[in-house]
């Protein structure tokens, strides 16, 4: 009898096993309806089938749908398209089933096609301070995915007063922020399994969020899936002690978990898990190069797009993270004689603080204590230079580029604040004392470049906030009240080249004269030309040199199985970012940071679509038909690369692009030059600039000009000694064979007869 009961129990168990999806838990095993059953009921009446256990909606485990074979017809059902005529069923919206839950999104119309949006999908639980993220638990309920989640914690004051180019930041912040926004092209058209672009926003890893960028037009025009994400910023995301106590890189771990979520679930929403492309702008461009460099990425990323930044940029890695921790402790009264107590204080502050404890850095130099990624020997266990030349990156396609005048806004900021005499510590523009500098290309040298003006605020202290706001307003008013020409006339008298080089190089005196000759003296006394050259200087040291170095390192890799493409974006933006230099017509065609983003995300194409790019005030813009076509061309290049690794090829459309984008190789340094109505290839565009700065960094790496001369003379002395030694040995060898040839070697004379001494007296 007992045996029969056991047999029936096991039979029932295996019946459930083969007709259900199992979700594993450390405490129990829960059973769910089959994936097919869920799809049918969702598409029929927008409800979920009953669970086989009443506890399934309360589970704290993850669903595993990785082995589910989802047909295209099932995806159309979940998208609420009728199976036969594939018309939209207006009674139901699009659904998405994933390892973390079941989501009900929304649909918008763009031209004659639809775009499905799934917004605010959490890929991780609410993160603990200074801890790695944990995967989001599965929830067997239909969750609303029609609204964005809050941004991750950041400076409220800065977010209120700054925009990201033409994109306005939202004002909602929360610790529960680790979410994705998915924009999917119409599943009825194009590829059945669509390539995926995951975008990492910029903002110095201190500001911004995924909802800045609406991916609808890029997805629809490019027939791809665009995903944006939130990740932890500032102290929450990048505070580190430089060792195992507080490893850091939590913001990178967040982004890697987002990649993993997409890799595991792509097949469930029409994506191709083998074509995940990471794209990023500015700080995000650095991030997306670091993620494939991690051993934990395990080949999940197929391609990388780095816009206005790379993983080699001097601001992409914090090489002295403990200074940030010390400064943070000092600013918020966490200094303790016992370091563990200090760590506990910092942890509690981050965990419980409701105030604005965040700061933004902008100045002449990059501070080592900026909240950026670190080499932690966990997420990142080698230099990026080495990784780029290793097998890790051999199969990763790469596209990168810069705008024509990347340093425009940074240079303008330098000029205004230098002339306002901001020399106090909290708003320092000078050379940071006690700064340990390092090379951006050689790990043992000491060069650093990037911005550092800081505002530290605490919203609990209204008086302090008011003081800083008034000080900032006063600074801007004082600078802007001057005529720009007068402003520049004053600027050229303050030794600005020396200041910039001194702020960024330990041994800049060795080559500052050459820098002045290249970036100042060639302008003679023309102030506008001097301004252009200073912008070039800032652009070259913050962005351009490091992009070229990255491309060259990639191009030198033997037997590389991937592609490299580079661009220069040169179309003046329409958006109204404040720039005194442009507004007063000194540099009307300057193309600064952010300029290409409008065109990549299709803002010019959104004129008659009020539900797209809602954080962009379209009334401010007056895009021409040429600019609309220009945006379409850029989207085509980007989406082609996302799909194939070649911006010229589209698997869905056989027609070619108007201008072939030539790849960047070791022999041919090609750049596609994006200019309105004149997209063309440029050869060796940055070569002379790169060669100039490479020599400067070599001097810096050698420890300066004095040590360099000593090394040079020592090398000459050793060469002379070695030459003399070699010549001596050669002569002796030659002499040896000559003597041997003549038979003189080891020859002995015949013995002579001994004669008695003539003066000897005989006895």
Catalytic residue ranges: 282, 406
User: Of 534, 542, 153, 529, whose CA–CA distance to 310 is shortest?
Assistant: 542
Helix or strand or coil: residue 685?
Answer: coil
Beta bridge partners of 142: 102
Structure-block tokens of residue 469 = 């706001």
Structure-block tokens of residue 640 = 């082609």
Start-end of H helices in 584-704: 597-600, 625-644, 687-701
Is 59 in contact with 137 (CB distance < 8 Å)?
A: yes
How far apart (Å, rounded) are the C-alpha atoms in residues 171 and 248? 26
Start-end of H helices in 358-493: 384-388, 408-419, 462-480, 484-491
265-268-270-273 Cα dihedral, nearest 10 degrees: 30
DSSP assigned state of 643: H
Determine the Cα angle at 412 with ends 410 and 418, to 5°.
100
For 38, the enclosing helix (H) or strand (E) is helix 35-45
Beta bridge partners of 116: 107, 184
Backbone region of residue 166 per phi and psi (left: phi > 0; alpha: psi in -120 to 50; beta: other values): alpha
682-685-687-689 Cα dihedral, nearest 10 degrees: 180
Structure-block tokens of residue 60 = 């704290």
Residues 6+ apart with CB under 8 A from 552: 666, 690
How far apart (Å, rounded) are the C-alpha atoms in residues 406 and 447? 20
How far apart (Å, rounded) are the C-alpha atoms in residues 114 and 613? 15
Is 48 in contact with 42 (CB distance < 8 Å)?
A: yes
């Amino acid at each position: 009898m007992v045996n029969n009961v056991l047999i029936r129990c096991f039979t029932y168990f295996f019946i459930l096993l083969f007709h259900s999806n199992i979700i594993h838990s450390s405490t129990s095993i829960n059973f769910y309806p089959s994936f097919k059953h869920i799809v049918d009921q969702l598409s029929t009446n927008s409800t979920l089938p009953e669970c086989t256990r009443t506890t399934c909606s309360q589970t704290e485990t993850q669903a595993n749908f990785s082995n589910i074979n989802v047909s295209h017809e099932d995806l159309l059902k979940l998208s609420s398209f009728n199976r036969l005529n594939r018309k939209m069923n207006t009674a139901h919206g699009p659904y998405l089933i994933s390892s973390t839950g079941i989501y009900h999104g929304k649909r918008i119309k763009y031209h004659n096609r639809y775009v499905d949006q799934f917004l605010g999908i959490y890929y991780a639980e609410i993160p603990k301070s200074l801890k790695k993220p944990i995967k989001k638990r599965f929830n067997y309920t239909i969750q609303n995915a029609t609204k964005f989640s809050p941004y991750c914690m950041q400076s409220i004051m800065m977010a209120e007063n700054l925009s990201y180019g033409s994109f306005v930041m939202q004002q909602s912040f929360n610790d529960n922020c680790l979410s994705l926004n998915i924009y999917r092209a119409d599943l009825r058209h194009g590829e059945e399994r669509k390539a995926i672009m995951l975008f990492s926003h910029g903002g110095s890893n201190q500001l911004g969020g995924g909802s800045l960028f609406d991916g609808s037009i890029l997805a629809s025009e490019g027939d791809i899936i665009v995903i944006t994400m939130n990740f932890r910023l500032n102290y929450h995301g990048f505070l580190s002690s430089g060792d195992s106590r507080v490893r850091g890189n939590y913001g990178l771990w967040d982004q890697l978990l987002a990649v993993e979520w997409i890799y595991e679930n792509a097949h469930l929403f029409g994506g191709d898990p083998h074509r995940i492309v990471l794209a990023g702008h500015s700080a995000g461009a650095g991030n997306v190069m670091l993620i494939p460099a991690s051993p934990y990425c395990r080949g999940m990323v197929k391609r990388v797009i780095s816009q206005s930044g790379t993983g080699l940029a001097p601001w992409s890695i914090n090489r002295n993270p403990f200074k940030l921790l010390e400064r943070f402790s000092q600013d918020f009264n966490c200094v303790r004689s016992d370091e563990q107590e200090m760590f506990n204080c910092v942890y509690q502050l981050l965990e419980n603080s409701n105030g604005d404890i965040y700061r933004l850095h902008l100045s002449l130099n990059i501070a080592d204590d900026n909240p950026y990624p670190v080499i932690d020997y966990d997420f990142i266990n080698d230099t990026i230079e080495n990784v780029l030349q290793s097998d890790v990156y051999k199969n990763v396609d790469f596209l990168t580029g810069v705008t024509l005048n990347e340093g425009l806004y940074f240079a303008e900021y330098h000029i205004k604040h230098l002339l306002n005499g901001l020399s106090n510590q909290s708003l320092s523009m000078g050379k940071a004392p006690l700064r340990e500098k390092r090379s951006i290309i050689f790990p043992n040298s000491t060069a650093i470049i990037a911005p550092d003006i800081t505002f530290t605020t605490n919203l609990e202290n209204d008086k302090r906030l008011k003081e800083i706001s008034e000080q900032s307003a006063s600074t801007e008013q004082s600078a802007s009240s001057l005529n720009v020409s007068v402003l520049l006339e004053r600027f050229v008298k303050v030794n600005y080249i020396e200041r910039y080089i001194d702020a960024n190089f330990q041994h800049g005196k060795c080559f500052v004269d050459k820098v002045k000759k290249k970036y100042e003296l060639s302008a003679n006394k023309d102030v506008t030309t001097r301004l252009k050259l200073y912008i070039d200087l800032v652009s070259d040291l913050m962005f351009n040199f490091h992009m070229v170095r990255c491309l060259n390192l990639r191009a030198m890799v033997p037997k590389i199985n991937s592609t490299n493409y580079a661009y220069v974006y040169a179309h003046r933006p329409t958006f109204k970012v404040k720039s005194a230099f442009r507004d007063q017509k000194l540099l009307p065609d300057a193309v600064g940071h952010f300029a290409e983003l409008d065109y990549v995300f299709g803002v010019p194409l959104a004129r008659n679509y009020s539900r797209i790019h809602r954080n962009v005030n379209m009334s401010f813009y007056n895009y021409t038909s040429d600019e609309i076509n220009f945006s379409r061309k850029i989207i085509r290049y980007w989406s082609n690369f996302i799909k194939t690794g070649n911006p010229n090829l589209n698997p869905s459309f056989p027609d070619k692009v108007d201008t072939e984008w030539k790849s960047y190789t070791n022999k041919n340094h090609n750049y596609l030059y994006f200019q309105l109505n004149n997209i063309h290839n440029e050869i060796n565009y940055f070569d002379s600039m790169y060669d100039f700065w490479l020599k400067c960094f070599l001097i810096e790496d050698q420890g300066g000009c004095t040590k360099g001369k000593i090394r040079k003379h020592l090398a000459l002395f050793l060469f002379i000694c070695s030459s003399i030694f070699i010549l001596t040995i050669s002569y002796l060898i030659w002499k040896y064979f000559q003597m041997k040839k003549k038979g003189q070697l080891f020859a002995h004379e015949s013995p002579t007869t001994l004669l008695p001494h003539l003066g000897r007296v005989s006895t």
